[in-house]
Amino acid sequence: MVQRALLDTRLAVRRALAEWRAADLAGDGSAGAAPLVLVALSGGPDSLALAAATAHEAGRAGLRAGALVIDHGLQEGSAGVADRAAHQAEQLGLAPVMVDRVRVEDGGGGPEANARSARYEAFARAAERTGAAAILTAHTRDDQAEQVLLALARGSGSRSLAGIPPRRRLAETSSGTAILRPFLASPPEITRATTESACAEAGLDPWRDPHNHDAAFARVRVRERVLPLLVRELGPGVPAALARTADLAREDADALDGIAEGIAAAALAEPGPQPAASDRAALMVADLAPLPAALLARVIRLVADRRFGAQLSREHTAAVAALVADWHGQGPVYAPGVRVSRAGSQLEFVRQTGSPRAPR
């Protein structure tokens, strides 16, 4: 019998590893130990299918593969669940297999955001400890569809509509460890139904997380109420179409961001290499004034983020853009971490600490 789901998960991992190696490890020689990748494993169907596929494909890609199991401690019996997942990873041949029991602090962003922060801190610790070149997570096309709906509900732009990126850097590490999400690319279309079938075909018994049915979480309400309603009213292709929307939005956002980076570099009043943590940056207004609104906004957000670590809201971005496109002598724009003002022919960004109205 053809094990279609199992083969599809392996193909997704094979392609993701090959693309990552070509992009990030092109100069990596054959001397020394093969690079290590870690699967973030909860024991659920998605991550267990990913662990099995990675165990099968890593050696063929010239890689070593291990697993990181994170016990968030948010429900009774979580330690046993983590230990069971670690045992499954060992049976699959993954090594090393680590269990990190984390403490989820109240960071003010809600339980999902707090758990995510704790999880990514654990990723960073594991990467630093093992030298892992990449950590693989098991987000599927269904997760992507849910992310697009949540972004739409927030009134977000194309970067948020682009959803969860298939590959990015783990910012919390100094070594440039990559986060890879093999099940987000398409084809093949890896959904939760695919990972469930892959586990069944491989004879694996996944854990069922009760939090995946807790309506206190917005994502669960989207998964169990909103998406099923859309499927009933609009047809079964809605989740795939939403995930495809993320693919298209990401292509557009990447292109616009690349153009914005070039414009920002050319418009700097002091061209040449700039310190990453500078206290001041100035752009020439003449270079910004002809830009369409979408590009101008991107350049503004890019400079604020890259130079000052400031995440500008739409309102802040529009106010800064008005210093270029609708200049009539208005005063500075204050945003968390940065102050932007017009000084003659230049748009000046200055690092802002403390109260924006306090004497400097």
- Evaluate whether residue 85 is within a structural domain: yes
Q: Are residues 235 and 282 in the same domain?
A: no
pLDDT confidence tier of residue 13, bands split at 50, 70 and 90: very high
CATH code, 146? 3.40.50.620
Q: Are residues 191 and 311 in the same domain?
A: no
Question: Could you give the number of structural domains in the chain?
Answer: 2
Q: Can you give the pLDDT at residue 355?
A: 56
- Evaluate whether residue 356 is within a structural domain: no
Mean pLDDT along residues 310-322? 93
Q: Tell me the three state secondary structure of residue 340.
A: strand
- Evaluate whether residue 251 is within a structural domain: no
Residues 192 and 243 sit within 8 Å (Cβ to Cβ): no
CATH code, 298? 3.30.465
Q: Could you say which of 198, 229, 244 is where a domain stops?
A: 244
Q: Are residues 198 and 346 in the same domain?
A: no
Q: Tell me the three state secondary structure of residue 166.
A: coil
| Peptide linkage before 188 cis (omega within 30 of 0) | yes
**Torsion angle, CA of 156/158/164/169, rounded to 10 degrees?**
-110
CA-closest candidate to residue 67, choices 170, 165, 136, 124:
136
Q: Tell me the three state secondary structure of residue 142.
A: helix
- Evaluate whether residue 250 is within a structural domain: no
> What domain range is 149 assigned to?
4-244
Task: Transcribe 324-357 into DSSP letters.
Answer: HHS-SS---EEETTEEEEEETTEEEEEE--S-TT
Q: Can you give the pLDDT at residue 268?
A: 83
Q: What is the pLDDT of residues 179-218, one digit of tens each?
A: 999 999 999 999 999 999 999 999 999 999 888 888 988 9
